[in-house]
Structure 1
Amino acid sequence: MVSSTKLKSVDFYRKIPRDLTEASLSGAGLSIVAALFMVFLFGMELSSYLEVNTTTSVIVDKSTDGDFLRIDFNISFPALSCEFASVDVSDVLGTNRLNITKTIRKFPIDPHLRSTGAEFHSGLTLHHINHGEETKEEFPDGAIPLTSGSFESFTHHFPILVVKFNAPWCYWSNRLKPSWEKAANIIKQKYDPETDGRVLLANVDCTEEPALCKRNHIQGYPSIRIFRKGSDLREDHGHHEHESYYGDRDTESIVKMVDGLVAPIHPETHKVALEGISNDTLKNLKKAPVTGGCRVEGYVRVKKVPGNLVISAHSGAHSFDSSQMNMSHVVSHLSFGRMISPRLLTDMKRLLPYLGQSHDRLDGKAFINQHEFGANVTIEHYLQIVKTEVTTRRSGQEHSIIEEYEYTAHSSVAQTYYLPVAKFHFELSPMQILITEDPKSFSHFITNLCAIIGGVFTVAGILDSIFHNTLRLIKKVELGKNI
C-alpha cells in the first residue's frame, strides 16, 4: 500500500499554518470585490448558457411534408353571390380543378361583411340541367313581362309568382325561352289568372330593368325565383321572401314544379299549406339570397409547382354580364402549409424575430374595385412562397421544431375582356431558409465557470500581492529617511 507520506507529496494545495499568515483590511476589501465580480461573471455566463445561438442559412428545399401544399383562406366578396361563387385551382402541370366544394364553405354576407344566413350548399346547382330538345318553333308569349312599377303589385296579388330574370343576349336565357313560354301557356290554361288566381309566370328583362334585378341580387342569367304571398315558409322566426329554382328547365319539369307549388293552396282562400308541398318540388327550391355577397372559406391542396387559386362566378347553365361583375374582396386569412398555433409562437418567443413576419401578409387587407359596377376588372395577387424551417441540435442530431411557409405578395388591378376574377398566383421557391439552434453544452458551461473562478481568484491574488509589497516598500523608504 502507498504510505500516507507519499500520498501527501502529490498535494497540489499545500497548507500554510494560520500562525504564519496575516489578514489585512486591503486584502479583505479586495476579496469582497473579487467575490462580487465572480458572482457578476457567473450570472453573465449562466445567461449566455441559457441562451440559444441561432444561425440562418439558405439551402435547397428538402421538404419533408410531401409533394402537396395546403392553402387555407377566408375571403369575403361583398358583390359575389354564393349561388355562383366558385373556387378553382390550376397549375403548370395541367391540373385544372373547377368548383371545388368538398373542403370549401360559403356563407352569404351583406355589404358590411356580416353573415346574413346559414351556410350555402351549392350541391343543387352542380347536376346537369335538362333544357329539353332545342326547337325553332315559336310559342306565343304566355309569361307576363314585369317592370319595376308592376312587380310589387303582382307579387302581392298572386299567392305564387314564378319569375324568370333573363337577358336577351344570354345563350341560356334564349335556350330556356321556348320551354318557359310553353309552360306559361299550360299553366295559364290550368290556373286561369282571372278565375283561379293562384299562380302566374312572368319575365323580367334585366337589360331593361337593371335596378329591379339588382334589388333581387340577380347575377347570373337566367335566374328563376319563386315569390310567395304570406308567410308560407318560416325559418329562424322569419319568413322566406322568395326561393330559387334549380331544377331542370324543360317544359314538363317547369309545369311539374308549378303544380307542386300550387297544390297546397286552396283556390277559394288562397291560403298556403306548406305541408302539402311535395318533396320533389322542395328539393329543387332553395332560399334565394337576401344579399349579394359571399364569404368563401376553407382549404385546398395543390402541387408544389407554380399555379393559380381563382375565385370567380361559375355556372354550367348561366351567363354573366362581365361589366356588372365586381370582384372586390377582403382577405381575412390566407396562409400556406400547416398553421403555427398562437400558443406555440408564444411558447417560443425567441423565434419571433425569424418567424411569423410574413406568413399572413395579406390578412386583414381589402382590395376594392373603385369602378362603377364592375368594369371588367380582375384583381390579381402574385405570391412568392419560401419555406422556413427551425431545427435544434440535441445529442448531436438535428430535430425539426417548426416548419412554415412565408410569402411576399404583390397585388394589381387589370381590366380584362373575359369574366373578372380574383386570382392568387403562387410560386414556390426552390430554396428554403434553415434556422438552426445550437444550445451550448454543459461541459462548456462548467469549463467557463472554472475559468471565471480561478481567473478572478488568481488576478485578485496578484493585485493583493502587488498592493501589499508596495505598502511595505513605502514603509521601508520612510523608515530609511527617518534614520
Structure 2
Amino acid sequence: MSVDLKRGETLPIHINMTFPSLPCDVLSVDAIDMSGKHEVDLDTNIWKLRLNSYGHIIGTEYLSGPGGTGPWSQAWLSFEGDKVGGNSDSIIVSMRVPFSPSIYYDKGHHEDSDEKLHAFGFDQASENLIKKVKQALENGEGCRVYGVLDVQRVAGNFHISVHGLNIYVAQTIFGGATHVNVSHTIHDLSFGPKYPGIHNPLDGTVRMLHDTSGTFKYYIKIVPTEYRYISKEVLPTNQFSVTEYFSPMNEFDRTWPAVYFLYDLSPITVTIKEERRSFLHFITRLCAVLGGTFALTGMLDRWMYRLLEVLTNKPKARSVLR
C-alpha cells in the first residue's frame, strides 16, 4: 500500500442497469461532484435499450450519436425481429431514421388528450413526450441503461432518475412522486477495468418495489488499485466497498425517487503483484514433501511390524502355559 499520488485524471464508471417499470424516455443519468460541476442527463457513451414487459429488447437509443443537436435528432430506433432459435432476441431489421414520438400516435384517437394538454400550456414536443410515455407505461415497458461515465477524480455522486423531466411534465405523466417505481437490477457497476480475482459487491443486485416508492442510496468507498502482471504490465483500476440505504417516499415529499450512487475516494493505493516462486523455493517445498512422506511411511511400517509381532506371539505364549 502507498499514498495515491494521481492528479488530474478522470474516473471511469461502468454501469449496466435495468429499470423494469420506467420507460427510457423518462430516465436520465445526472452527476455532481465536490468541485461544483453538475451535469443533468449525461450523454457520454450512454445507451438505452427499450424493453417490453417480458424484458425483451424492442428498440435502442444512443444518446451521444453523431450529428444533430435536438433531443430527438440524436436518437435512433431499431425494431426487434423474430427470435432466433426460440430462445434469444435478434434485431433483424435496423432502421436508422431520426426518432419522432409523434409517429406512434394517431391524431384522430387523441384529440381529447391533446385539448387537455394544450390547456396546461405544453408545447408540441412535451405533448408528444407525455403521450408516448403514458402509452409505454400502459404497455409495461422498461429500460436498460449501460455505458461509461468519465467523471472527475473527486468525491461526488451520480444518480439515475426522472430528474431530467420538467416537473410539470413529470407530474402529468405519473400523477405524483409516489407513483414512480425505481425498481432496478444492477448487472454491473465498476470503476475501471477488471483484473483476475476482483469482486464488485453490487453486481447482481436486485431491488424490486411493490405498491410503494422511494429513493435508493448506495454509499461507495473507492480504493485505487494497481494490478501488476508477471510481464511487468500495470493495470490501473479501482476496488470499492458499499453501504446501502433506502428511504421510502410519502406524498408530502418534494423530491422525486431516484437511485443514487455516492462515492468517495481513499487516499491509499493498493498494489497487487503477480509473482513467480523461485526454483530454490520449489526445491525446498519438494524436499519437505518428500521428507514428510518418508517419515509417515516409516511410522506406518513400525506400527504394522509391532502389530504383527503382537498377533504372532500371543498363540505361542498360551501353548507353553498348557
Q: What TM-score bracket applies, with the shorter chain setting the length?
A: 0.5 to 0.7
- Helix, strand or coil at the partner of 1:413: strand
Choose from 226, 237, 259 the match for 1:404.
Answer: 237
Structure 1 match to 2:292: none
Measure the CA separation in 1 of the matches of 2:178 and 2:207: 18
What stretches of structure 1 of length at least 5 have no aligned partner? Answer: 1-57, 128-157, 181-219, 226-242, 246-286, 346-354, 453-483
Structure 2 match to 1:89: 31
Structure 1 match to 2:144: 295
CA distance 1:96–1:437, change in 2 (3 Å): same
Residue 367 (str. 1) matches residue 207 (str. 2): yes
Contact 1:387 1:406 in 2 (8 A): yes
Structure 1 match to 2:169: 318
User: For the aligned residues, what is the CA RMSD?
Assistant: 3.7
Mapping of residues 466-477 of structure 1, within 5 Å: none
Aligned residue pairs: how many? 236
Structure 1 match to 2:121: 175
Identity percentage of aligned residues? 23
Mapping of residues 446-461 of structure 1, within 5 Å: none
With the length of structure 1 as denominator, give the TM-score of the two structures. Answer: 0.42
- Helix, strand or coil at the partner of 2:201: coil
Residue 75 (str. 1) matches residue 23 (str. 2): no
CA distance 1:408–1:322, change in 2 (3 Å): same
Q: For residue 60 of structure 1, what is the amino acid of its counterpart?
A: V
CA distance 1:411–1:438, change in 2 (3 Å): same
CA distance 1:312–1:159, change in 2 (3 Å): closer
**Residue 102 of structure 1, CA deviation:** 3.7
Contact 1:75 1:330 in 2 (8 A): yes
**Residue 381 of structure 1, CA deviation:** 0.8
Structure 2 match to 1:254: none
Residue 120 (str. 1) matches residue 66 (str. 2): no
CA distance 1:86–1:298, change in 2 (3 Å): same
- Helix, strand or coil at the partner of 1:175: coil
With the length of structure 2 as denominator, give the TM-score of the two structures. Answer: 0.61
Q: For residue 175 of structure 1, what is the amino acid of its counterpart?
A: G
CA distance 1:165–1:299, change in 2 (3 Å): farther
Structure 2 match to 1:60: 3
Structure 2 match to 1:211: none
**Residue 68 of structure 1, CA deviation:** 0.5
Deviations 1:42-87 (A, max 9, x none): xxxxxxxxxxxxxxxx2111348x5111001110011111111101
Structure 1 match to 2:272: 435
Measure the CA separation in 2 of the matches of 1:315 and 1:102: 19
CA distance 1:164–1:387, change in 2 (3 Å): farther
Structure 2 match to 1:29: none
**Residue 159 of structure 1, CA deviation:** 7.8
**Residue 441 of structure 1, CA deviation:** 6.2
Measure the CA separation in 2 of the matches of 1:165 and 1:159: 10
Structure 2 match to 1:472: none
Deviations 1:388-435 (A, max 9, x none): 2233688xxxx4443331111211110352011111111111111123
Residue 98 (str. 1) matches residue 40 (str. 2): yes
Q: For residue 59 of structure 1, what is the amino acid of its counterpart?
A: S
Measure the CA separation in 2 of the matches of 1:164 and 1:90: 41
Measure the CA separation in 2 of the matches of 1:75 and 1:325: 17
Choose from 306, 316, 335 the match for 2:155.
Answer: 306
What stretches of structure 2 of length at least 5 have no aligned partner? Answer: 64-68, 74-105, 288-322
Deviations 1:352-394 (A, max 9, x none): xxx31x2x21111101223x153xx111111111122233688
